[in-house]
Amino acid sequence: MRALSILLVLFSSTAFSNDTATTLLKPFKQELKQALMAGLQQSPETAVEVCQQQAPALAQRFSVDGVEMGRTSDKLRNPANTAPDWVVPILTQFQSGDLTPVTVALDANTEGYAEPIMVGPPCLTCHGSQLTPQVQQALNEAYPDDHATGYELGQWRGLFWVSYPNQ
Ligand code: HEC
């Protein structure tokens, strides 16, 4: 018990950068961005489809060897992106305006990390407040319970999370 408390103190909520976690997330973020940009070059509706297929597939592809990763939000588009239990308090923290990335000890052998995702210019095509009828229609069809529109540039949108063996 005492060892566990010390561990928790050592690893909870540090504001330091977490190299392991950011290295694990990097290819996921890069490939997601590439897929999205390639889709957008064809058409925004195509990109919706690309994102619908690629985002979950990529998260799954990089979730191997005891590593799990994904994206979540307080305003979900895809209900399958619901936050794992340990991520819920971090969502609340980011929602409150404290956007400091968080590292937590999940158990003696596992760490978790989460960092905020902000709305940049390309995001507005599918998460903004003025969607084209084509994008709106593609979203309605794929996500009948979409909560992820109406965002402004620079707003907090959600987070990337990853959990991994800590040695
Ligand atoms: C072409 C349309 C499109 C664009 C552009 C787009 N998204 Fe999305 N976004 C989607 C779709 C579709 C999903 C659901 C895919 C999934 O299952 O993860 C999604 C899901 C998400 C999620 C996961 C949480 C949830 O609501 O399901 C986050 C976070 C997110 N987008 C952030 C962004 C950010 C930040 C940008 C800009 C860099 C962006 N998106 C650009 C279509 C788009």
**Residues 93-145: tens digit of each pLDDT:** 999 999 999 999 999 999 999 999 999 999 999 999 999 999 999 999 999 99
Give buried/exposed letters for 12-21 (b at 16+ CB in 10 A, else e): eeeeeebebb
pLDDT band at 18 (very low <50, low <70, confident <90, very high): confident
Tell whether 2 is covered by a domain: no
Tell whether 9 is covered by a domain: no
State the pTM of this model. Answer: 0.91
pLDDT tens, 21-63? 999 999 999 999 999 999 999 999 999 999 999 999 999 999 9
Give the total number of structural domains in the chain. Answer: 1
Supply the range of the domain harboring residue 35.
Answer: 14-165
Return the pLDDT at 14. 47
For ligand 1, is residue 126 a contact (CB within 6 Å)?
A: yes
Residue 126: enclosing H or E segment and its boundaries? Answer: helix 124-127
CA–centroid distance, residue 19 to ligand 1 (Å): 25
Tell whether 4 is covered by a domain: no
Return the pLDDT at 2. 54
Sign of the CA dihedral with 10 first, then 84, 16, and 164 last? positive
Tell whether 8 is covered by a domain: no
Tell whether 141 is covered by a domain: yes
CA–centroid distance, residue 87 to ligand 1 (Å): 18
Mutate which of 28, 33, 51 for ligand 1? The one with the most ligand atoms within 8 Å of its CB, which is: 51
Tell whether 138 is covered by a domain: yes
Instruction: Report which ligand 1 atom has the smallest distance to the Cα of 147.
Output: 26
